[in-house]
Amino acid sequence: MQLVIFRKTAENIADDYLKSRGVNLVSGQARSRRVHNMTAYRQGSQDSKKIDVRRRMIS
């Protein structure tokens, strides 16, 4: 019960603070996953097949 009351008061305090500062919170827009250059994307996909990730590093 105390936790519920604490959360409500904390939320009210945060809302009052944001109102006093004049801050308006909005959710951001998600980035679109669009490929700008499809030929470069395919070339990168082809090149990545040649890479062996589990191979030991040359030092």
Sign of the four-CA dihedral 33, 34, 37, 43: positive
Tell me the whole-structure pTM to 2 decimals: 0.43
DSSP 1: -
With beta carbons less than 8 A apart as the criterion, state whether 22 and 15 touch.
no
| Residue 26 in tokens | 């909005």
Mean pLDDT confidence for 7-36: 90
In this prediction, residues 3-10 reach a mean pLDDT of 95
d(CA 46, CA 40) in angstroms, rounded, equals 10
Largest CA distance in the chain: 60
